[in-house]
Amino acid sequence: MAEMKKLMRALAGETMETPPAWMMRQAGRYLPEYKATRAEAGDFLSLCYNPDLAAEVTLQPIRRFGFDAAILFADILLVPQALGADLWFVTGEGPRLSTITDRAGFDALKPADAVHETLSPIYETVKILSRELPSDVALIGFAGAPWTVATYMTAGRGTPDQAPAHALKDGNRPVFDALMDRITEATIEYLSAQIDAGAEVVKLFDSWAGSLKGDDFTTYALEPTRKIIAALKARHPNTPVIAFPREAGEAYVGFAKATGADCVALDQSVDAGWAAKNVQVDGCVQGNLAPGHMVTGGQPLIDEVRRIKAAFSGGPHVFNLGHGITPDADPDNVALMLETLRA
């Protein structure tokens, strides 16, 4: 019988002397080989929808660094596109979407299961990866969590405070709730299909969860995550789910128990020592090195890797950044991070 992959062991609750490691956005703009492949694809969306090239960029950081997991190369905004939103990327500025601000906009969306038609190339990428990844490297699929996806669908772009989503939520609750439900259903379909294609773990990225406070956090961050995990566990009982309610702060406490997540990813705004006492007590945690260390490197990077590793050494831990690696990161610092972690 093949030995269980290191990431899967951590997600199952095993404490290891050296935790498994991977990095959010590990396939991407900080790597010269990624830039070359993206140029070959023509543009970002063409890269996402080209299974051979998307698999290639997913494999690049595995070849270069030997991470314990690969994360599918795609984008959280492919789901709104599959639901009928217009999506395009502005060079140097990022994604743009057509917006939903009223009932008519919502009514024009496609049903949740329509996502499969548009997103079939993504499932093909997963199939290629499940064949081509080294046998000890786990494959992670992912989607944006409903609140975060809704913030883009209402604003048409990333915003500093998610004000358009809050405005629709507070001003037209029935339409906002209908939108959240549609995204939730589509996300279940999308992640389930990724698992069918070969993803061994899936992750929900709630990048803007931190702007939800009090009851709104429960209603729009915790509850949709719980629904998605429950539906996925009903279909795929043995597939672990990582939840990432970024900048949840105190609301990280109890999040795993409340949602059924097998692991909670932590951003760098919470202290590892605090998280070990308050969050890791419920199971596996992931994180939480500040991505800036991938730019600056040096002794502070080494010290911080050691500190985080030590803080979480009493329980199951997946070493990662507190958010995605940035385009200005130095690949040599990624190598230094892994060397320090595994020393």
Query: Does the pLDDT of residue 256 top 90, yes or no?
Result: yes
What residues contact residue 156 under an 8 Å CB cut-off, 6+ apart?
96, 97, 98, 99, 164
Query: Any catalytic annotation for residue 75?
Result: yes
Q: Out of 9, 25, 182, 246, pick the active-site residue.
A: 25
Q: Out of 29, 96, 157, 307, pick the active-site residue.
A: 29
- pLDDT tens-digit profile of 77-87? 999 999 999 99
- Among residues 132, 116, 240, the alpha carbon closest in space to that of 190 is found at 116
Query: Does the pLDDT of residue 2 top 90, yes or no?
Result: no
Amino acid making up residue 151: T
Q: Measured between alpha carbons, how far apart are the two ends of the chain, in Å?
A: 29
- Among residues 343, 244, 291, 334, the alpha carbon closest in space to that of 62 is found at 334
Instruction: Tell me what pLDDT residue 22 has.
Output: 99
State the average pLDDT for the chain: 97
Q: Out of 152, 190, 220, 252, pick the active-site residue.
A: 152
Query: Does the pLDDT of residue 1 top 70, yes or no?
Result: no
For the chain, helix, strand, coil in percent to 5 are: 55, 15, 35
- pLDDT tens-digit profile of 58-76? 999 999 999 999 999 999 9
Task: Name the percent of the chain lying above pLDDT 70.
Answer: 99
The b-or-e profile of 169-181 (16+ CB within 10 A means b, else e) is beebeebbebbbe
- pLDDT tens-digit profile of 29-59? 999 999 999 999 999 999 999 999 999 999 9
Q: Out of 64, 75, 136, 226, pick the active-site residue.
A: 75
d(CA 176, CA 310): 43
- pLDDT tens-digit profile of 287-338? 999 999 999 999 999 999 999 999 999 999 999 999 999 999 999 999 999 9
d(CA 24, CA 306): 19
Which domains can be identified in the chain, with CATH numbers?
6-342 (3.20.20.210)
Q: Out of 9, 30, 34, 38, pick the active-site residue.
A: 38
Query: Does the pLDDT of residue 3 top 90, yes or no?
Result: no
Q: Is the pTM of this model over 0.75?
A: yes
Locate the DSSP E strands across the chain: 69-71, 87-90, 94-97, 138-144, 201-206, 241-245, 263-265, 284-289, 317-321
- Among residues 33, 21, 27, the alpha carbon closest in space to that of 69 is found at 21
- pLDDT tens-digit profile of 93-139? 889 999 999 999 999 999 999 999 999 999 999 999 999 999 999 99
Q: Are 72 and 142 in contact (CB under 8 A)?
A: yes
Query: Does the pLDDT of residue 284 top 70, yes or no?
Result: yes
Query: Any catalytic annotation for residue 29?
Result: yes
Query: Any catalytic annotation for residue 152?
Result: yes
